[in-house]
Amino acid sequence: MIPLAKPVMGPREEELVLEVLRSGRLSLGPMLPRFEEAFAARLGVAHASAVSSGTAGLHLALRAAGVKEGDEVVTSPFSFVASANAPLFEGARPVFADIDPRTLNLDPAAARAAVTDRTAAVLPVHVFGQPAAVPAFEAFGLPIVEDACEALGAVHADGTPVGASGHPAVFAFYANKQLATGEGGMLVTADAETKERVDSERNQGRAPNMDWLDHDRLGFNYRLSDLQCALGVAQLERLDAMLADRAKVAGWYRDALSGVEGLELPYEDDGTRGWFVYVVQLPRDADRDATVRALAERGVQSKPYFPAIHLFAFYRERFGHREGEFPVCEDVAARSIALPFFPALGEGAVAQVAEALRGVLESRHGGGAAGAS
């Protein structure tokens, strides 16, 4: 089976993890600032705070942006569920707006229309590593928190790296991301006060001087261990090579899949995407779930990606969401599948995936496994 994702790990990761093990400093040791400083330098931002996950980073970023109970946060329904859940941790409500059918990112005009006098922040997601329209959201005059969890390596049209616009932005390091530490995240910001607050809140609200007894605010345990930071330092050293490999794999897919009738390939503008996944939209008359099953029978893992968040049972029940609210998102979500995509995926494997998908889609007209009904 060709898997969906696979991290790149080598001797350098082993060496740095061993260094931490032998040092005895397993958490809050020197590897933490080493990872943070290297990450900030790489992005060209003033501050970076490592946290236990991207979700934890989004939670702390929203707190730092002042989001509180009863507030609304305008965000995308086409994302990983964490970006919509994060406002709920503070008793705020995620208010969805539809997406742009090309970039699949939150549509600025729709987002603007969703703003009310209770809107406390806008939370754009750089979905699949495609830069969101941050300058358009800045024009709203509201705090912005960027979900850059899928966008390491992405660059805005003006050359600014995604995450380096100055707003709190959050990256994630789960095993399938561009940079993997198993679990983990990084909150970057231009603001020193935000950095200080996040560093305290990830560590039980402890005072910056680490005085055991002085907890001057509510906090959490959102720390990232030095073992994970060691992986992060090693992964950063090879990040450019990994990103280049992902872009190369995307190019092979583009060549192998263009010409498949009715299949929509990822939007490609001027090369600003930080390739995270390879998601295609199936022809409208193809059965998405049957296609996923038929691909599995041919040795190719794939999955629906993403389902629309507002149509999840929890969101329907809690907020009364229903079909038809965000037609672009719903149409895209019903047709999108992620194909195997990782730096070490070879050209032969890409050809095999493309052949399998082509075969499955062609067989739908001849009563094959992926038939429309």
Ligand X SMILES: *Cc1c(COP(=O)(O)O)cnc(C)c1O
User: How far is the C-alpha of 264 from the C-alpha of 103, rounded, in Å?
Assistant: 12
Of 48-56, 211-219, 232-240, 323-331, the window that binds ligand X (rule: CB under 6 A) is 48-56
Which SS3 state, helix, strand or coil, does residue 75 take? strand
**Bridge partners, residue 186, by sequence:** 50, 171
Q: How far is the CB of 32 from ligand X (least distance, A)?
A: 17
* Minimum separation from the CB atom of position 154 to ligand X (A): 12
Tell me how many residues contact ligand X (CB under 6 A).
Answer: 14
Q: According to the binding rule CB under 6 A, does residue 83 interact with ligand X?
A: yes
DSSP 265-301: PPP-SSS------EEEEPPTTS-HHHHHHHHHHTTB-
How far is C-alpha 294 from the geometric centre of its chain's CA atoms? 27
At closest approach, how far in Å is the CB of 149 from ligand X?
Answer: 3
Q: What is the DSSP letter of 160?
A: P
Judged by CB under 6 A, the residue of 48, 82, 110, 286 near ligand X is: 82
CA gap 367, 136 in Å, rounded? 47
Considering only residues 266 to 285 of the shown chain, the ones binding ligand X according to CB under 6 A are none
Residue written as token pair 């509180």: 68
Taken as a whole, the chain contains a residue count of 373
Q: At closest approach, how far in Å is the CB of 54 from ligand X?
A: 3
Q: Binding segment for ligand X among 63-71, 142-150, 259-267, 294-302 (CB under 6 A)?
A: 142-150
Q: How many Cα atoms within 13 Å fall on the side-chain side of residue 96?
A: 28
Q: Which stretch binds ligand X (CB under 6 A): 80-88, 234-242, 341-349, 350-358?
A: 80-88
Pick the closer one to ligand X by CB: 181 or 272.
Answer: 181
Binding-site member from 111, 132, 149, 188 for ligand X (CB under 6 A)? 149
Among 39, 174, 253, 326, binds ligand X (CB under 6 A): 174
Round the CA-based radius of gyration of the chain to a whole number and report it.
Answer: 21
Q: Considering the rule CB under 6 A, would residue 146 count as an interface residue with ligand X? A: no
Interface characters, 49-78, with ligand X (x: CB under 6 A): ----xxx-----------------------
Q: By CB under 6 A, name the one of 72, 90, 100, 147 that touches ligand X.
A: 147
Residues contributing to the site for ligand X (CB under 6 A): 53-55, 79-80, 82-83, 125, 147, 149-150, 172, 174, 185
